[in-house]
C-alpha cells in the first residue's frame, strides 16, 4: 500500500502523455505523412508516446493485480468465517425440544 498515491499519479501522467502525443502524431500524419519520416522531432514524439503507453499499460496491469489479490484475500477471509460458523453449528446444534 506504500506509494499507491504516487503510482496513481504516475499512471495518470503517463496515460495523459501517451494520449496527447499519440493524438498529436496522428493529427500530423493525417495532414502530412512525410513529416514522421523526415522530422526527428516527430520521430522523438512518436517514440515517447509509445514508451509512455507501454508504461501506462504496465502500471495498469500492476494496479489490477493488486486489486485482484485484495479481492481474493477478502473472499478467503469470508470463506474462513463461513467455515468456522458451520463448524460451530455442527459441534453445538440447536435443540429441537419445545
What band does 67 get if pLDDT is binned at 50, 70 and 90? confident
Q: In whole angstroms, how far apart are CA 50 and each of 11, 67, 97?
A: 14, 26, 74
Residue 96 lies in a domain: no
Residue 48 lies in a domain: yes
Query: pLDDT tens digits, residue range 8-63?
Result: 787 788 778 777 777 777 777 787 777 777 888 878 877 887 787 788 778 778 88
CA–CA dist 97, 28 (Å, integer) = 84
Higher pLDDT, residue 73 or 58: 73
Tally of domains in the chain: 1
CB-facing half-sphere around the CA of 16: CA atoms within 13 A: 6
Residues spanned by the domain of 38: 4-91
Q: Is the whole-model pTM more than 0.75?
A: no
pLDDT at 82 over 80: yes
Q: Is 81 helix (H, G, I), strand (E, B) or coil?
A: helix
Higher pLDDT, residue 33 or 89: 89
What's the grid cell of residue 76?
478467503
Amino acid at each position: 500500500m506504500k506509494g499507491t498515491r504516487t503510482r496513481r499519479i504516475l499512471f495518470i501522467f503517463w496515460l495523459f502523455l501517451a494520449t496527447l502525443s499519440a493524438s498529436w502524431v496522428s493529427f500530423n500524419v493525417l495532414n502530412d505523412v512525410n513529416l514522421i519520416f523526415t522530422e526527428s522531432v516527430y520521430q522523438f514524439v512518436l517514440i515517447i508516446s509509445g514508451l509512455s503507453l507501454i508504461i501506462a499499460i504496465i502500471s495498469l496491469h500492476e494496479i489490477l493485480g493488486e486489486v485482484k489479490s485484495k479481492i481474493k484475500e477478502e473472499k478467503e477471509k469470508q470463506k474462513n468465517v463461513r467455515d468456522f460458523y458451520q463448524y460451530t453449528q455442527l459441534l453445538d446444534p440447536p435443540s429441537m425440544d419445545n
